[in-house]
């Protein structure tokens, strides 16, 4: 099994490396909105002194951390997999004795991530010269606690996206469904603003949804903003959602593959 993963890694790394120019463009595209939100909220905090206890530096550290966390927990499975179901190229992968989604697509996403993080590091350093974040509240314990949380966040996000991508077995409008799902992530993950500044209703719902595990929870862990009770609650939620997303993905995938009759077959 290890050998299989090793070989898949070589193939997928080589494939992603080939598209490195596209990756840089993707990175630029993806960077803009956090930077805009950072600018908007720091300007408000500077004008008023603070926003509900958030100072300008709190916003700067939040979004600067978000840039890294988002790159670690995000995935592109909808863009790399849905078309395979639609044009039938999935057939070739289905006859192999390994799971197409949980091996090949997973490794492909991780290779993609490695490359974008390599591209992000220099950009991040330049941005920190421009914004001068003060990371005084960050501790090693916080970072160590956040690493498993980010891995969990990535796995949950990957499984949920994989399940939604697998809806392509039934409908051609899977991209529209994914767009709706993406809007939910924006709303409940803390992408737009730290969740504590959201309206109370949204905060209450967000607590029970998996989306905050992608961004808000790991970011706050790194920044050392959570109490012990909150840390425990986050990990419990992550455990529950990991199980739920495994079950959900398996169910969609199994029924989908049964449904699948490849183009041309």
Site residue total, another protein (CB under 8 A): 32
* 23 contacts another protein (rule: CB under 8 A): no
Is 130 near another protein (CB under 8 A)? yes
Q: What letter would DSSP give residue 51?
A: B
Among 83, 192, 235, 248, binds another protein (CB under 8 A): 192
**Of 4, 39, 76, 114, which one interacts with another protein (CB under 8 A)?**
39
Which residue's CB is nearer to another protein, number 137 or number 172?
Answer: 172
Which one of 94, 147, 186, 247 is in contact with another protein (CB under 8 A)?
186
C-beta separation of 61 from 154 below 8 A? no
Is residue 40 at the binding interface for another protein, with CB under 8 A as the rule?
Answer: yes
Nearest to 162 by CA among 73, 75, 259, 244: 75
Q: Choose, by CB under 8 A, the member of 6, 10, 18, 43 that binds another protein.
A: 43
Any contact of residue 173 with another protein (CB under 8 A)? Answer: yes
Contact range with another protein by CB under 8 A, out of 32-40, 85-93, 113-121, 247-255: 32-40
The backbone torsions φ and ψ at residue 181, rounded to the nearest 5 degrees and listed phi first, read -60, -40
Considering only 11, 14, 28, 247, the residue that binds another protein (CB under 8 A) is 28
Least distance in Å: CB of 21 to another protein? Answer: 7
B/e letters for 117-140, b = 16+ CB within 10 Å, e = fewer, are: eebbeeeeeebeeebebeeeebee
- Please return the burial class of 13, using the count of CB atoms within 10 Å of its CB with bins 0-12, 13-18 and 19+: middle
Pair of tokens at residue 114: 């490695």
CB closer to another protein, 177 vs 244:
177
Nearer to another protein, 76 or 151 (CB): 76
Q: Name which position in 1, 47, 201, 229 contacts another protein (CB under 8 A).
A: 47
What contacts 47, CB < 8 A, 6 or more positions away?
A: none
**Closest C-alpha among 257, 254, 77, 251 to residue 181:** 77
Does the protein bind another protein through residue 76 (CB under 8 A)?
A: no
Helices 106-131 and 77-87, axial angle in degrees (round to 10): 150
d(CA 22, CA 37): 24
User: Could you say whether residue 209 binds another protein (CB under 8 A)?
Assistant: no
Give me the residues that bind another protein (CB under 8 A), please: 21-22, 25, 28-29, 31-33, 35-36, 39-40, 43-44, 47-48, 51-52, 130-131, 173, 176, 179-180, 183, 186-187, 192-193, 197-199
């Amino acid at each position: 099994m290890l050998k299989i993963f090793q070989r898949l890694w070589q193939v997928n790394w080589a494939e992603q490396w080939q598209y490195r120019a596209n990756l840089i463009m993707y990175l630029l595209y993806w960077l803009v909105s956090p930077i805009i939100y950072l600018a908007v909220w720091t300007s408000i905090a500077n004008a008023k002194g603070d926003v509900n206890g958030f100072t300008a530096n709190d916003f700067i550290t939040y979004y600067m951390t978000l840039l890294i966390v988002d790159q670690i927990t995000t995935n592109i499975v909808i863009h790399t997999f849905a078309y395979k179901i639609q044009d039938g190229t999935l057939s070739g992968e289905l006859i192999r004795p390994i799971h197409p989604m949980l091996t090949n697509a997973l490794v492909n996403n991780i290779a993609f991530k490695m490359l974008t993080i390599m591209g992000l590091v220099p950009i991040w350093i330049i941005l920190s010269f421009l914004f001068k974040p003060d990371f005084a509240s960050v501790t090693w314990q916080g970072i160590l606690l956040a690493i498993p949380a980010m891995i969990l966040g990535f796995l949950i996000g990957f499984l949920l996206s994989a399940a939604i991508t697998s809806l392509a077995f039934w409908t051609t409008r899977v991209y529209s469904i994914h767009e709706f799902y993406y809007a939910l992530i924006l709303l409940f993950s803390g992408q737009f603003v730290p969740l504590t500044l959201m309206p109370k209703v949204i905060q209450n719902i967000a607590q029970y949804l998996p989306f905050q595990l992608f961004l808000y929870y790991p970011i706050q862990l790194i920044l050392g903003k959570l109490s012990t009770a909150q840390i425990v609650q986050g990990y419990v939620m992550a455990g529950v959602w990991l199980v739920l997303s495994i079950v959900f993905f398996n169910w969609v995938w199994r029924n989908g593959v049964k449904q699948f009759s490849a183009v041309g077959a």
